[in-house]
């Protein structure tokens, strides 16, 4: 309308183009189209120009149909070039995308939004990052989320965490929906999943129905898939980064994974705190707080059974030996000394070993799993760290007993002589006892102490020391440094030591005097 008004004002194409900021050809085309329309005619319609990829559309259609909508344009482009396609790679990708959308529209699974009923569905799934497994569960109607960490995805671990989920909820939903995870799937017959006997026993005990989604169909449990990604990005990755900074700042995946798995209890405490935080915030889809909706949904949950089911194989029992240890997998693990001779239960969970009381469930000791042939010994089980081995002196013969009655000096002399390899020590003890009787016990003990200090182990050496008497020098170790206050003298400046040049004195010329010759 601006172009038409400008043309009516100035009456020329170029003038109207200059006013509207366009070209005169555009003004001419608009005016001609407007005049035709005003005269009651139809606007001219441009004939559609075929795309350059229409020559290979049949090829793309057949390839997408044969590949069930998963063929890529990159793989199909060489065949299109050979069939005569001369356009750009971008246009061909556009063609393949059109055909893939057409195939999915015809052959895709028709879907509709899920309508969840209160107390009906609990959806569970697993995720993993660098060996740390994440168990996620969502109560479908209230959207209450549950996240825990584990070292594996075995059936016992899954059922144990599912039982913990029921305990936290305070009830049991009607259906537990999961994908076809191998730990819970006993087989598939005519696309019907057969659950494992342990899962059937577990579901019967808690009174719920296990359900499995279609194969390769994660959209049927998308709300837990979102929780898996959310838990890994917002909880597990910061936890591993925090552990890496605690280990020294170097991101070493095996070391960080081992550190997280070594203390799963602390990691799960952080996961519980994280769940409390996200469950008390407003959910983006329901626009409600999940914990508030849970108070309404809990009334429709089935009550928990009065007896809790024992999950997994029964714990292994071991008898504590006289060393206050138990053996498991050809390795030793220590327990408190008071349990020697008692029977304890051993539970292995990932990299950790727990030794508990089979009657009360009290945890006596916790160890990290070690390799066969190794031992995990805790000092607090034995009252403190282990002291160095000490071989005490135990006299047997009459001469040895008589010599050892002299006390610690005699024992130190025997230990030193044995360490020095003095093979004549045994026969010389009789001579040493004679010297002790001759010189007196106190004098002889002093001689033994001097002989031990100077490494003299023969009886003749002790006799020489006794013969020297008290006149022998008594060397002592160096004492503390002697500190003496020295007198302070006034100092002098360096300028005072500058040499002084004396003034020059005039020199007198001397004439040599020749002696007169005698006449």
Per-residue pLDDT band for 165 (boundaries 50, 70, 90) equals very high
Per-residue pLDDT band for 387 (boundaries 50, 70, 90) equals confident
Q: Does residue 42 carry a pLDDT above 80?
A: no
Per-residue pLDDT band for 250 (boundaries 50, 70, 90) equals low
Q: Give the tens place of pLDDT for each residue, 393-423.
A: 889 999 999 999 999 999 999 999 998 988 8
Average pLDDT over residues 263-286: 91
Q: Is 509 exposed, middle or buried (0-12, 13-18, 19+ CB in 10 A)?
A: exposed
Q: Give the tens place of pLDDT for each residue, 114-160.
A: 888 999 999 999 999 988 999 999 999 999 999 999 988 999 899 99
Edge-to-edge order in the sheet of strand 363-368: 316-319, 343-349, 352-356, 363-368
Average pLDDT over residues 257-274: 88
Both tokens of 228, joined, read 């898996």
Task: Please give the pLDDT value at position 43.
Answer: 63
Q: Are 140 and 120 in contact (CB under 8 A)?
A: yes
In sequence order, the β-bridge partners of residue 322 are none
Which residues have a Cβ under 8 Å from the Cβ of 225 and sit 6 or more positions away? 125, 218
Per-residue pLDDT band for 518 (boundaries 50, 70, 90) equals very low
Task: Please give the pLDDT value at position 249.
Answer: 58
Per-residue pLDDT band for 516 (boundaries 50, 70, 90) equals very low
Task: Please give the pLDDT value at position 519.
Answer: 35
State the virtual CA torsion across 333, 334, 335, 337 in degrees, nearest 10: 150
Q: Does residue 112 carry a pLDDT above 50?
A: yes
Question: Distance (Å, rounded) from C-alpha 286 to C-alpha 306?
Answer: 34
Q: Does residue 32 carry a pLDDT above 90?
A: no
Per-residue pLDDT band for 515 (boundaries 50, 70, 90) equals very low
Task: Please give the pLDDT value at position 81.
Answer: 93
Task: Please give the pLDDT value at position 247.
Answer: 66
Average pLDDT over residues 46-50: 78
């Amino acid at each position: 309308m601006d172009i038409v008004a400008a043309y009516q004002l100035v009456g020329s194409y170029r003038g109207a183009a200059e006013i509207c900021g366009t070209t005169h050809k555009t003004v001419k085309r608009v005016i001609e189209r407007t005049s035709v329309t005003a005269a009651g005619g139809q606007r001219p319609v441009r004939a559609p120009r075929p795309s350059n990829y229409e020559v290979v559309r049949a090829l793309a259609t057949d390839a997408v149909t044969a590949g069930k909508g998963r063929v890529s344009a990159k793989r199909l482009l060489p065949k299109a070039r050979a069939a005569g396609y001369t356009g750009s790679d971008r246009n061909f990708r556009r063609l393949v995308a059109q055909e893939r959308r057409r195939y999915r529209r015809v052959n895709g699974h028709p879907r509709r939004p899920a309508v969840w009923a209160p107390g009906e569905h609990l959806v569970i799934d697993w995720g993993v990052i660098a060996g740390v497994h994440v168990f996620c569960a969502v109560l479908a109607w209230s959207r209450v989320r549950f996240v825990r960490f584990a070292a594996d995805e075995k059936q016992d671990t899954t059922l144990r965490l599912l039982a913990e989920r029921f305990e936290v909820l305070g009830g049991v939903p009607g259906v537990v929906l999961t994908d076809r995870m191998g730990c819970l799937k006993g087989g598939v017959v005519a696309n019907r999943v057969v659950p494992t006997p342990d899962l059937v026993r577990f579901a019967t005990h808690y009174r719920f129905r296990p359900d499995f989604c279609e194969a390769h169909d994660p959209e049927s449990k998308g709300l837990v898939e979102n929780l898996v990604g959310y838990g890994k990005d917002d909880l597990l990755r910061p936890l591993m980064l925090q552990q890496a900074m605690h280990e020294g700042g170097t991101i070493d995946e095996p070391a960080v994974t081992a550190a997280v798995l070594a203390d799963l209890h602390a990691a799960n405490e952080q996961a519980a705190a994280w769940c409390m935080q996200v469950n008390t915030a407003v959910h983006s889809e329901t626009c409600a707080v999940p914990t508030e909706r849970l108070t309404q949904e809990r009334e429709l949950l089935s009550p928990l059974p009065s007896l809790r089911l024992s999950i997994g194989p029964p714990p292994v029992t071991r008898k504590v030996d006289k060393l206050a240890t138990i053996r498991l997998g050809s390795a030793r693990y220590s327990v408190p000394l008071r349990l020697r001779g008692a029977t304890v239960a051993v539970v292995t969970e990932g990299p950790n070993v727990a030794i508990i009381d089979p009657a009360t469930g009290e945890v006596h000791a916790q160890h990290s799993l070690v390799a066969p042939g190794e031992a995990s010994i805790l000092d607090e089980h034995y009252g403190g760290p282990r002291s160095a081995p000490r071989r005490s002196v135990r006299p047997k013969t009459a001469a040895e007993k008589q010599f050892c009655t002299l006390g610690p000096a005699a024992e130190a002399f025997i230990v030193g002589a044995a360490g020095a390899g003095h093979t004549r020590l045994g026969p010389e003890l009789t001579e040493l006892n004679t010297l002790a009787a001759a010189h007196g016990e106190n004098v002889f003990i002093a001689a033994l102490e001097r002989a031990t200090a100077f490494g003299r182990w023969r009886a003749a050496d002790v006799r020489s020391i006794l013969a020297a008497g008290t006149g022998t020098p008594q060397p002592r170790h160096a004492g503390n440094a002697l500190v003496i206050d020295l007198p302070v003298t006034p100092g002098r400046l360096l300028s005072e030591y500058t040499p002084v040049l004396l003034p020059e004195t005039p020199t007198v010329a001397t004439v040599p005097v020749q002696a007169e010759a005698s006449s």
